Amino acid sequence: AHTDTAGLAARIEAALPDSTVMLGLSAEGVAVAVRRALAQATEWSDYDWQLIHDAPQSPALHMALDEVITAEVAAGLRPPTLRVWEWDSPAVIIGSFQSLRNE
- Predicted confidence at residue 99, as pLDDT, reads 80
Mean per-residue pLDDT for 11-34? 88
100, 66: one domain: yes
Banded model confidence at residue 41, pLDDT cuts 50, 70, 90? low
Instruction: Compute the distance between CA of residue 91 and CA of residue 8 in angstroms, rounded to an integer.
Output: 28
Dump pLDDT digits (tens) for 46-98.
Answer: 778 899 999 999 999 999 999 999 999 888 899 889 999 999 999 988 887 88
70 and 101: one domain?
yes
Do 13 and 39 lie in one domain? The reply is yes
Q: Does one domain contain both 74 and 39?
A: no
Q: Into how many domains does the chain fold? A: 2
Look up the domain containing 61 and give its range. Answer: 48-103
pLDDT at 42: 61
Report the alpha-carbon distance of residue 78 to residue 99 in Å, rounded. Answer: 30
